[in-house]
Amino acid sequence: MTLITAIMLMIYKRKNGLGYSEAKFLFKTEMNDYILVLGVFLSGGDMSRFKYRYKIKNGSISVNYKPFKR
């Protein structure tokens, strides 16, 4: 998993012409945004279901594996 992430970061760095630190920061923020959008999409677009399933603290996301309340 680490090797895959390192390769993705290297490609992102070269594609955008950035330094390592800047590319790492921007890659992390873009991936975080993508994961948030994907989580909302998988929750059917309902933010209350999204907030129930995913907990966001200090920019990191943890998943609550309990089934959704219906």
With H, G, I as helix, E, B as strand and everything else as coil, classify residue 55: strand
CA 26, chain centre distance (Å): 12
What are the tens digits of pLDDT across the range 17-54?
999 999 999 998 888 888 878 877 777 777 676 666 66
pLDDT at 4: 93
pLDDT at 66: 54
Cβ atoms of 39 and 29 closer than 8 Å: no
Listed by start position, the domains of the chain span 2-63
pTM: 0.61
